[in-house]
Structure formats: structure tokens, C-alpha cells
Structure 1
Amino acid sequence: MRVVDLSHPVETGMQVFPGDPSVSCRVATTVEQDGFEVTELHLGTHSGTHMDAPSHIVAGGATIDELSLGDFVGPCRVVHVPDPGARDVIGWGDVREQLADLRPGDAVLFRTDWSRHFGTAHYLAHPALHAEIAQHLLTAGVRVMGVDTLNPDHTPHGEHDSGELPFHERFLGSGGVILENLTNLGDVTWPDPVLCALPLKLRGLDGSPVRAVALQL
């Protein structure tokens, strides 16, 4: 079995969505002084490679612990969008051919290779997916999608940015979930990969970090 890690490491000071809680990892006890080591973590639910539950933007939507784990282990499709520019909008016409013959329950992961900018200011200027893609995925029975960027929508920048989230609203609003900050999608080179991306069982919360991997079984 081959395993490709699709997750960024969680570490102190890592890049987060603007305004989200910062990430810190602080040693609370040590083997030398206390006989055991424990680390105190401070982070938001959307830190690093993570999953958005519907309740992230939908009042009364499903929380992360209410979602079915069976949805997060199964076949996936990696869609390659080569060399998009900063703040480009990727439309349905750009990906239609790679999304032929989707099966209900497939996960779809969009590879832009923007993850190479993770940790830099340029990462915030990532391309976005048009909301029409969300509708086509939902119509095909897709309930799990992911991106190797900070956001399938544009991340707000500047005081005149509207901050609208049309892809989130369409996809999460219909009960889907979104994986963000994926990486290493270019290493998934075999047909019919299997995605495993399990969130923590955080009761009543809107999202969770995940350890996402692609498997060749």
C-alpha cells in the first residue's frame, strides 16, 4: 500500500486564515522535570489542513461530530488545474473534462500546486473556484471536496473586498464538507486513489484539523 501525506505540519506560528487564532505549541511538562511530556496546543478549528463542517457558515448546519465518517474514506478524483494566476477564478469549463463520470460518493480534490506558497504572503492571493463548480459536484452526488489553497473562494484582501463566500455557501449550504490547505497532490500519480481525511470528534464545533492522506490500495 502506498500512502501520500496531503497535510501540512501543525507548528507554532504557522500561517492561518487572516484573523483566525494563531497556532502555538508550548511544552507543559517534561520527562526530565515531571516524568512525562505533555504539550499545550492553542489553535483554531480551521488551522492547517482542515475540514469545514456545514455549521462553519450555515446557522443550524451540521457540526463536525455529526458528520458520517464513512464519507471521509473512499475513492477520490484529483483534478489538475496547471499554473493558475494569482486570484484567478477557475470555471466549470476549465475542469469539466476531468470530472466526467463522477460517481456519487466520490471526493474531488483540486490540485493547483498553490500549496508551494504556503507560509508566504503570496499564499493569500490564491486562485478560487467558481460556485458553478460546487453545483455540478453536488448534482453528481459529491459531498466531499478539497483544495490545495487556503480557500475555494477568494481570501479577502484590502478594505474594499466584499468577503463573500459563494462556493462555501453553495457547497456547505447543501450539506457538503470542504477540505482546505491540502498539499502534495502532485504526488498522487496513480489511478483511483482512496482519500482518508478524518476530523477530530469535536462536539458541536464548526470544523477540525485533519490528517489527510491518499492511499493506493
Structure 2
Amino acid sequence: MESLSIIDLTHTLDPDKMSIYPGDPLLACCPVTTIPQDGYAVNSLSLGTHTGTHIDAPSHFIANGTTIDQIALDMLVARPALVVDLTYKKPETKISWDSDLAKYKERMKEGVILLLYTGWSAYWATPAYMDYPYLDKHAAEQILLTGVKVIGLDTLSPDQIDGDEGYGVHEVILGTGGLIVENLTNLKALAELQQEEGATMVSIVPLTLKDCDGSPVRAFGWKA
């Protein structure tokens, strides 16, 4: 039986090599016991719900919104993916519907996870990572009209930091019960895989954190 080639779309959680949204908790992973001293190893882990590659649940911005433990896994596991190449976008420019996304409309539909590939993961853990292209609010509205409910990006956020539209994209997507996946990586490999025959599939697996607004994830893709 031929082995399945998996593309990991997840940044390593490394306290020394991280990009963190301004004001969010820092990542810490500290030894509590060690094999030489205690015979077994345990670490304490401290991080925010939006650390590294992660998913936003509606309750991140919507009062009484769905929490991460209430998300149906069939929205996120073994779903067809559409990778849109936006690597031509410049720092701090808008990703618009008419200019950038409308041409893919026929491939956007319910059940498809839309992945916006900007190439910005190359700047992970550097100051340049904060100057990413961001999604226009109108574009987010148009995406949702196609039936897409899960949108992923290889950037820190779909909204510009301190931008004129505030958290408008978050509010639009999460307000309809949609989900946002941030800080993906290796979308170039997935985009290349998409050119081959067969369906491009992804899984995005959060922790079951009771009443939480998001979770770090392990995200990965493959060709069916």
C-alpha cells in the first residue's frame, strides 16, 4: 500500500522563534520534572488560545458565540481545500474580492476550506511578519455568500493591526458561525500539490478546550 504524503501546515511552538499578536500571552514551556532527577519528564505549558497556528471560534468576538469545544469536527477534518495564490500582494495591502478572489468564485462552495496563500509565513518570527496583506471586509462577505465557512491564512490575522476597519473581518466571519485559521505555513507546498490530479484535502484539529474562544491546532494537507 502506497504511503500517504502529508504536508504539515503548522508552525512549531518554539518560545525562541514566535510571532505573537500584540498584547497576547507569550509562550512558555518549562521543565517540571526531568528523567535524570525524577525518572520521567514533564513540562509546564503556558500559552494563549491564539498562539502559533490556531483557530478562532465565534466566541472570540461574538457574545454567546459557539466555543471551540462546540465546533463540529466534520467542519475541519478531511475537508476539500482551495488554495488561492496571493503571493503578489505587497505588505499592508488589501486582499479584495474583485481584484483577487472573484475569479475563484466557482470553486468556492459549502464544505470547502479556503486557504489564502500570501507567502507571509516566510517572515515568521521577524518584524516583517506584522506587515502582512489583509482581507477586505467586503471580500469576506462575498466569500461567505459562496457557502465557505472556514477561511485560513498564512498571516497573523485577516484584519490589519490597528486598521481603519478594526476587527471587521473577524466580526463578519465569526458572526455567521464561520471559523478563521491563522498563522498557517507551507501553503506553497499545498498550492503545488493542488496542481496535481485529485482532490486537495486538509484537516485542522483543535484541542477540546471547554468554553474557550480558540485553540492551537495541528493542520495538515494531502492529495486524495
Q: Tell me which interval the TM-score lies in, with the shorter structure as reference length.
A: over 0.9
TM-score (norm 1): 0.94
- Correspondence for 2:56 among 52, 58, 65: 52
* Counterpart amino acid of residue 79 in structure 1: V
The list of structure 1 runs, each at least 4 consecutive aligned residues, that deviate by more than 6 angstroms after superposition, is none
Are residues 1:28 and 2:28 paired? no
Aligned partners of 1:127, 1:148: CA distance in 2, in Å?
10
1:90 to 85, 89, 95: 95
Distance 1:209 1:8 in 2: 10
Paired residues, number: 213
CA contact (8 A) 1:155 1:163 kept: no
- The alignment status of 1:206 with 2:218, answered yes or no, reads no
1-side partners of 2:110 and 2:165: how far apart? 31
For the Cα contact (< 8 Å) 2:96–2:136, is it kept in 1? Answer: yes
Amino acid corresponding to residue 50 of structure 2 in structure 1: H
Can you list the C-alpha shifts for 1:141-200, whole angstroms capped at 9, x where unaligned? 1111100000011023xxxx5571111110001000000000110001223211100100
Partner of residue 112, structure 2: 106
* 8 Å contact from structure 1 (residues 79, 99) kept in 2: no
TM-score normalised according to structure 2 size: 0.92
Map of 1:186-201 to 2, 5 A cutoff?
A: 186-188=188-190, 189-191=192-194, 192-201=199-208
Aligned counterparts, 1:1-217, within 5 A = 1-13=4-16, 14-73=18-77, 74-93=79-98, 94-156=100-162, 164-188=166-190, 189-191=192-194, 192-217=199-224
* Structure 1 gaps, min length 5: none
Identity %: 39
Equivalent position SS for 1:59: coil
SS at match of 1:100: helix
Which secondary structure does the structure 1 equivalent of 2:193 belong to?
A: coil
Q: Quick one: distance in 2 between partners of 1:66 and 1:198?
A: 13
Coordinate RMSD, CA, aligned: 1.2
CA contact (8 A) 2:108 2:114 kept: no
TM-superposition CA deviations, 1:33-71 (whole Å, max 9, x none):
111111111100000000000000111100000010000
